[in-house]
Amino acid sequence: MLASLKSASRWLHPGLGLKRWLAPLLLGVIILALGIALFLRDLYAESSYPSFLHLLLLQGWPRWLRAILFGAIGLGLVAFSIYQLNKTLLSAFLPHKVTAAYVAEQVYFRQRQRQGPKVVAIGGGTGLSILLRGLKRHTDNIIALVTVADDGGSSGKLRRELGVLPPGDFRNCIAALADDEALTTQLFQYRFRSGQGLEGHSFGNLFITAMAGVTGTFEKALYESGRVLNIRGTILPSTLENVILMAEVSEGAQTRKVEGESAIPAAKLPIERVYLEPDTPHAFPPALQALLSADLIVAGPGSLYTSVIPNLLVAEIATAIRASSAPKIYICNVATQPGETDGYSLDDHVQAIEAHANLSFNFVLANNNLAHSIPEDMSHLQAILPIPPSDNRYAVIAADVVDEQHPWRHDPVKLADELMSWYKKIK
């Protein structure tokens, strides 16, 4: 009995939006009871009843006591009936043994998610999908701003052969934001190992490309794919133009150009700068709207030169970030990346962003849990220490955000929890 009452009380938990409807329900019951009472009063005055009915209606009791007793019984019956009705209706959509407490918690969770802060996350590749996987536990108002410079693997083939924007990074984001993440990830990341024309392609890339053909545009394909898979958030390209990421790398005393996002880290040479061709692509308008209305703007984690900075090279994107009143934070990688940031310190990462986009982040989140060593067979990676800059031009938030099983990556839950905890303190 106590357990049932406790479960029922969950429906009164703040944030569910149910208590606001209890008052009109109660008022409706009172008005209905008043109408019935007026009818019965006239009927009772003009009729005679058997003596047992007088006993049943407790005529010997004071009127106020009868009103309390009958009111309590009626209210209890209404509440019990509504509870059982909801239980019957929900049983058609929920597992057999789901409790009222579970349903109440799910309603509260969804309500809280819808009211969560609007977070714009900028990047691409694995790093962005890791952040999104954790963020969706805190808010549904997520906008992933994704680079379109990818030209390797399956994405590169589809881009060259069909002229679509590279779907790979978008595929990772869709999988990360999906409700049934495990199954969607397994499906979207499935890669065909044989078959003429299919070998090497992932199902997710083909799905998005096919959706672009059905809907007519890549941006509509992203929207419809997200709707079909019930993702928590929105995924937007930084630009719809067919841009190529270029780099100037240092080769001894000389500098040479490297063309293509996948070729830049493969060159394994120090990067002087990266840029886009064409160099003045127009930003995707909804991306600008998202940045200007954001509650929080996050850059990273992810490959510095091939995932994060390419978005910021779209001049209108950088301008919108500067114009936004939202707090801006850069999430630095846990470890250096071969071919891109070998030997880089935390400040080297920030300076690269500042130099390429003329953009400053007032806050930088960095991992401070160095207890888990990077495996010896990955000794080419170096942990990035959370050392503040000597000129204090930005604040470093040092926290344990590392994946202990893979100490060169972020843990999605730790990362999102720390990010949102910090945001709540400063808002």
- In whole angstroms, what is the distance from residue 283 CA to residue 241 CA? 8
In order of 165, 205, 209, 221, the CA distances from 198 in angstroms are 18, 11, 13, 21
* Spatial CA neighbour of 98 closest among 204, 213, 219, 10: 10
CB within 8 A of 412, min separation 6: which ones? 130, 131, 133, 134
Same domain, 255 and 291: yes
- In whole angstroms, what is the distance from residue 110 CA to residue 139 CA? 9
- Return the number of other C-beta atoms located less than 10 Å from residue 13's C-beta: 15
* Spatial CA neighbour of 201 closest among 210, 242, 230, 124: 210
Same domain, 290 and 397: yes
Same domain, 24 and 103: yes
Same domain, 339 and 319: yes
**What per-residue confidence (pLDDT) applies to 47?**
62
**What per-residue confidence (pLDDT) applies to 282?**
97
- In whole angstroms, what is the distance from residue 294 CA to residue 323 CA? 11
- In whole angstroms, what is the distance from residue 427 CA to residue 424 CA? 5
Same domain, 336 and 388: yes
**What per-residue confidence (pLDDT) applies to 416?**
97
**What per-residue confidence (pLDDT) applies to 64?**
80
Helix 168-177 to helix 218-228 angle (10° resolution) is: 20
Residue 18, in any domain of the structure: yes
Same domain, 87 and 130: no
**What per-residue confidence (pLDDT) applies to 68?**
84
Same domain, 7 and 144: no
CB within 8 A of 29, min separation 6: which ones? 74, 75, 78
Q: Copy the structure tokens of residue 166.
A: 């590279």
Residues 386/372, Cβ–Cβ less than 8 Å: no
Same domain, 8 and 142: no
Residue 170, in any domain of the structure: no
CA 111, 112, 116, 121 dihedral sign is negative
- In whole angstroms, what is the distance from residue 249 CA to residue 271 CA? 4
Residues 173/155, Cβ–Cβ less than 8 Å: no
- In whole angstroms, what is the distance from residue 313 CA to residue 356 CA? 7
Q: Which of 60, 89, 113 is the last residue of a domain?
A: 113
Q: What is the pTM (predicted TM-score) of this model? A: 0.79
C-alpha torsion angle, residues 287, 276, 149, 252 (rounded to 10) = -140
Residues 388/306, Cβ–Cβ less than 8 Å: no
Write b or e for each residue in 380-419: b if 16 or more Cβ atoms lie within 10 A of its Cβ, otherwise e: ebbbbebeeeeeeebebbbbebbbeeebbbbbbebbbbbb
Helix 2-9 to helix 100-114 angle (10° resolution) is: 20
Q: Which of 63, 91, 113 is the last residue of a domain?
A: 113
Q: Copy the structure tokens of residue 418.
A: 């720390």
Strand segments, DSSP code E, in 351-410 are 363-367, 395-399
Residue 186, in any domain of the structure: no
Residue 37, in any domain of the structure: yes
Sheet hosting strand 271-277, strand order edge to edge: 254-259, 244-251, 271-277
Local structure of 122: helix, strand or coil = strand
Spacing of C-alpha 2 from chain mean position: 37
Same domain, 359 and 419: yes
* Count of residues making up the chain: 427
Residue 86, in any domain of the structure: yes
**H/E run at residue 88:** helix 63-90
Looking at the 3D structure of the chain, how many domains does it have? 2
Name the residue with tokens 């998610």: 113
Residue 213, in any domain of the structure: no
Local structure of 47: helix, strand or coil = coil
Residue 203, in any domain of the structure: no
The range of the structural domain enclosing residue 325 comes to 118-148+238-426
Same domain, 105 and 142: no
Same domain, 130 and 74: no
pLDDT in tens, the chain (427 residues): 555 555 556 556 666 566 667 778 778 877 887 787 777 666 666 666 667 666 776 767 887 887 788 778 887 887 788 777 777 766 666 666 566 555 655 555 566 666 789 999 999 989 999 999 999 999 999 999 999 999 988 888 899 888 899 999 999 999 999 877 677 778 888 888 877 778 888 899 999 999 999 999 999 999 999 888 889 899 999 999 999 999 999 988 899 999 999 999 999 999 999 999 999 999 999 999 999 999 999 999 999 999 999 999 999 999 999 999 999 999 999 999 999 999 999 999 999 999 999 999 999 999 999 998 888 888 789 999 999 999 999 999 999 999 999 999 999 999 999 999 999 999 8
Phi–psi pair at 103, nearest 5 degrees? -60, -45
Residue 204, in any domain of the structure: no
- In whole angstroms, what is the distance from residue 66 CA to residue 46 CA? 21
Q: Which of 86, 113, 140 is the last residue of a domain?
A: 113
- In whole angstroms, what is the distance from residue 382 CA to residue 378 CA? 9
**What per-residue confidence (pLDDT) applies to 46?**
63
Same domain, 131 and 55: no
Q: Copy the structure tokens of residue 145.
A: 């701003």
Find residue 249's DSSP bridge partners: 256, 271
Q: What is the DSSP letter of 307?
A: I
Q: Copy the structure tokens of residue 29.
A: 């019951």
